[in-house]
């Protein structure tokens, strides 16, 4: 079955592939209407710039922090994977590992 919709919602906030695609799509949309609705085109551009600026760079420490929060979170007992990620993260924070 093909996908046919009246509307398609874009969410330009965040890291994922969909957020990146949404930012590209909104920029393309803004470029496309700039001659017809300059104000909306500018507002969309500013919005995408803002969301882009909110995206934190993916560093090893950020990545590990994110993964740790997904798996065992704040629980007292960490699983083996989280234990490894936790000690690697500590080493990275201490500058033992680069």
Applying CB under 5 A, the residues found at the interface with Zn ion are 71-72, 79, 82
* Cβ at position 70, least distance to Zn ion in Å: 8
Complex with Zn ion: residue 43 or 81, whichever CB lies closer: 81
CB 18 → Zn ion: shortest distance, Å?
Answer: 25
Residue among 41 and 82 whose Cβ is closer to Zn ion: 82
Write the secondary structure of the chain as one string of H (helix), E (strand) and C (coil): CCCCCCCCCCCCCCCCHHHHHHHHHHHHHHHHHCCCCHHHHHHHHHHHHHHHHHCCCCCHHHHHHHHHHHCCCCCCCCCHHHHHHHHHHHHHHHCCCC
């Amino acid at each position: 079955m093909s996908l046919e919709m009246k509307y398609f919602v874009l969410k330009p906030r965040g890291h994922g592939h969909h957020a990146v695609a949404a930012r590209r799509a909104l920029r393309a949309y803004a470029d496309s209407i700039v001659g017809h609705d300059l104000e909306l085109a500018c507002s969309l551009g500013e919005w995408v710039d803002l969301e882009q600026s909110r995206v934190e760079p993916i560093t090893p420490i950020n990545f590990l922090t994110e993964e740790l929060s997904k798996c065992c979170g704040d629980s007292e007992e960490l699983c083996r994977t989280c234990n490894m990620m936790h000690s690697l993260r500590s080493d990275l924070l201490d500058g033992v590992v680069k």
